[in-house]
Structure 1
Amino acid sequence: MDLLEYQVKEWFGKIGIPVLPSQRIDHPTDLKRLKIRFPIVLKSQVHGAERAKAGGVRFAETTIDAIAAAQNIFSLPIWGELPEVVLAESQYDANQEFYLAVVLDTAVCRPVLLGCKEADIDWESAGEKMHHVVVEQEFSPFYARRLALKMGLQGTLMQSVSSVLEKMYHLFVQKDLDLVEINPLAVSANGQVMALNGKVRINERAIKRHPDLAEMAAKIISRHTSTEINGILGDWDGVKMHGKIGILGNGTGSVMATLDLVANAGGNPGVCLNLRHAFLTDTTPTTFRDRLETGLKILEADKGIQVILINFLGSIPQTEEVVKVIARVVQQDNSELESQVVRSNGSKSRQVQNFTPLVIRLAGSEFNAARKYLATLKTHSDALLVVENLDEAVAAAVRLAKPTANKK
């Protein structure tokens, strides 16, 4: 999970990495109550790169100029993402700019400190200019000073840069991160260092160990229901696509296979959730039943989903409880449908479809009783279809996801 710049700088400020006076702007009119002095720079808060080239970074000398610039930034999509926040920050005169990072090297399974005396890095030739130090044992300030010396720094500047590197490493460890990056770390004429921009990438599997991170992830998911969430969270246990068929499965392999079959059959896969693992935002233990209930709510709340395809293969825990969850959802949808009957002149004239059809594939002897029970439920003809063959289930889901179908 990648944080936005204003979130990164909040973390930097708390741990003691020098950052400029700044203010979060949620609406252009917030600039009328600006607490920092002009001139300022306004930065679009999006996850996409190259925002400066796209027009997402603008300078302002007065309040009127700042409001006009903010209005343009808020209406400017960068790589398809509109900013919900703009960062207002003091301007800074830099004599030098460095690149610093702490990254997890999966090849050696150790953190690595990176440093370069150029901020605008050409990554094709970065090997010639980038210096690195592998943290092979328990961290000490020696590692940070060693990298600063490799970069050719001396005296007070070496001490300042190594101090920033130490704090970056402590943040890296405290929050279970994959990457902490400062690009650039600016140096003023009097030798003062300042983190002008930063990037933090959180290890998705560590999110549930940190309640504050889980809360941030939950907000991202709630705000990006119609975008590619996986680009931000990057996890195969929950993938957002732009199709009409939501998929629930009990394993990564079964979810991926179902997605491929839906696509090959001419369907459009939507949100895909693997219920075998806890969701990224779960901070307390959950059962398979809990995750099924949550998954169904997520899919039913998505107005783009027209059909929910459930593929359970082998065995699942709490089979009876899981079946009850499915039955309750289907019967609730059925009762809502009946309540939506439109009457004209005292007689029923038409029905308004107000449910999401469920196509359920249950394969395995343990599901025999479940299939029989679900078959006895009284529902609308398209509300529930239970089959044992996956190809048949996929074909039914594709058939029900018609372009003309209306979603509640």
Structure 2
Amino acid sequence: MKLHEYQAKGIFADAGIPVPESRLASSVDEVMAAVEDIGYPAAIKAQVHVGGRGKAGGIKIATSEEEAREAAESILGMDLKGYTVEEVLVEAGVEFKNELYVGVTMDRAAGKPVAMVSTEGGVDIESVAEETPEAIAREHIDPAFGMHPYQARKVCYEAGIPKEVALDVASILTTLYDLYESKDASEIEVNPVMITEDDEVIAADAVMNIDDDALFRQPELAEMEEETYEDELEKKAGEYGFDYVRLSGNVGIIGNGAGLVMTTLDLVDYYGGAPANFLDIGGGAKAERVTQALDMVFSDDNVDAVVFNIFGGITRGDEVAKGINEALESFDEIPKKVVVRLAGTNAEEGMEILNTELVEVETTLEAAVQRAVKNAEEANQ
């Protein structure tokens, strides 16, 4: 679960991390009232769950009433990487001489949390990690003991943090780790930590993502969760409870199980097709579930053909076939050709039950994928 910047900063402030004065606003009038209270310069920042807001025009600095109004009018309601901006954070501007990066995340290879500090703040830390990894100092933390103060000081020293602010930066890092642990975060960072001319350290940004599986013990954070989707298809997938990712191709893919869907996706690519989506409907492919899945892929204008790859485990293949028949019969007109491959428990019985007037049937996954790719090619001719 992703927190908005204003939500994360509220948590940071409560924990003692210095953050700029700010107000949340959802209209131009509210923005103007906020900057009147806060003063100039002021940063007006889109509150959406995406990175790179500044480069996309979602963050603007206003030094006058006219600039503040123009920024509010341009940001509120804008489409920012597929998200509509409904709220902005109006924040006091910070005069700074240096920008740092401070964060904690899980190093899955090491099996431990890792604290990271860099003097290359204010830019995408992923780019820094890829292009100049030596610019990021790292310190792994034993979760059984937590972060020791000396570890925070050590990683700041290795990153080359100026001695005038090193202890303050180490304090921020220690607090971030405490929040990472106590709030069940999967990632927590400040980019940038701004250093003022007076050597004050201020968290000018805030990123905090929470482990979904731990929300049951974080009721206050769970109340902050909101459903945001990049488009109507993702919204529909959320309503249906599907694991769904939209891709750029034209072959719709439906399967029960993430591994099975990934295999199908790879085969579509292997046989010269282009996958349109990843859609895992999970176990128990009954008629309603199948209907919802087909509604998903049929609603995607990019899809020209569909391949349905089902493995019958606890759910028998004949029951799945009945579900597919019932689902397709519910459509007045089947808009795109559907190829079905069944395997597993009672697969042969299921293949016999499938209505071949509604679907094309193949006994192997390879053959099903090849036919779906061919159907998609023919639909474009």
| TM > 0.5 fold call | yes
Unmatched tracts of structure 1, length 5 or more: 228-236, 277-285, 338-352
What letter is aligned with 1:219?
E
Partner of residue 269 from structure 1, selected from 250, 266, 275: 275
Per the alignment, residue 308 of structure 2 pairs with: 310
Q: Could you say what secondary structure the match of 2:177 adopts?
A: helix
1:186 matched to 2:206: no
The share of aligned pairs that are identical, in percent, is 28
What letter is aligned with 2:111?
C
- Aligned residue pairs total 356
Structure 1 residues 324-343: Cα deviation after superposition (integer angstroms, max 9, x where no partner): 4333322221xxx2xxxxxx
Partner of residue 103 from structure 1, selected from 88, 102, 105: 105
Q: Could you say what secondary structure the match of 2:276 adopts?
A: strand
Per the alignment, residue 68 of structure 1 pairs with: 70
Q: Could you say what secondary structure the match of 1:17 adopts?
A: coil
In structure 2, do the counterparts of structure 1 residues 95 and 258 end up closer, same or farther at CA, with 3 Å as the change threshold? closer
Pairs within 5 Å for 1:2-21? 5-13=5-13, 15-21=15-21
Q: Displacement of 1:181 after TM fit?
A: 1.8
Partner of residue 262 from structure 2, selected from 253, 256, 274: 256
In structure 2, do the counterparts of structure 1 residues 296 and 71 end up closer, same or farther at CA, with 3 Å as the change threshold? same
Q: Displacement of 1:161 after TM fit?
A: 2.9
Per the alignment, residue 231 of structure 1 pairs with: none
Per the alignment, residue 92 of structure 2 pairs with: 90
1:144 matched to 2:152: yes
Inter-partner Cα distance in structure 1 for 2:222 and 2:374: 37
Inter-partner Cα distance in structure 2 for 1:192 and 1:324: 68
Inter-partner Cα distance in structure 1 for 2:18 and 2:249: 45
Per the alignment, residue 342 of structure 1 pairs with: none
Q: Displacement of 1:310 after TM fit?
A: 1.0
Structure 1 residues 28-49: Cα deviation after superposition (integer angstroms, max 9, x where no partner): 4542453752321123456666
What letter is aligned with 2:362?
V
Structure 1 residues 12-38: Cα deviation after superposition (integer angstroms, max 9, x where no partner): 345443322334444545424537523
Cα RMSD after superposing both structures: 4.1
Partner of residue 388 from structure 1, selected from 355, 359, 363: 363
Structure 1 residues 109-166: Cα deviation after superposition (integer angstroms, max 9, x where no partner): 2112222345357554452x543332134114423344456556668x5554333222
Pairs within 5 Å for 1:210-359? 210=215, 219-220=227-228, 222-225=229-232, 238-263=244-269, 265=271, 267-275=273-281, 295-296=293-294, 298-313=296-311, 315-319=312-316, 321-333=319-331, 337=332, 353=333, 357-359=337-339
Q: Displacement of 1:303 after TM fit?
A: 4.8
Unmatched tracts of structure 2, length 5 or more: 235-242
Inter-partner Cα distance in structure 2 for 1:15 and 1:240: 38
Contact 1:103 1:178 survives alignment (8 Å):
yes
Per the alignment, residue 281 of structure 1 pairs with: none
Please identify, of 301-310 and 166-175, the stretch whose mean Cα deviation from structure 2 is larger. Answer: 301-310
Partner of residue 170 from structure 2, selected from 155, 162, 173: 162
Q: Could you say what secondary structure the match of 1:312 adopts?
A: strand
TM-score, scaled relative to structure 2: 0.73
Inter-partner Cα distance in structure 1 for 2:215 and 2:291: 24
1:371 matched to 2:351: yes
Inter-partner Cα distance in structure 2 for 1:16 and 1:296: 50
Per the alignment, residue 34 of structure 2 pairs with: 34
In structure 2, do the counterparts of structure 1 residues 401 and 65 end up closer, same or farther at CA, with 3 Å as the change threshold? same
Q: Could you say what secondary structure the match of 1:269 adopts?
A: coil
Contact 2:306 2:336 survives alignment (8 Å):
yes
TM-score, scaled relative to structure 1: 0.69
Structure 1 residues 151-192: Cα deviation after superposition (integer angstroms, max 9, x where no partner): 56668x555433322221133234544432212212345554
Contact 1:288 1:317 survives alignment (8 Å):
no
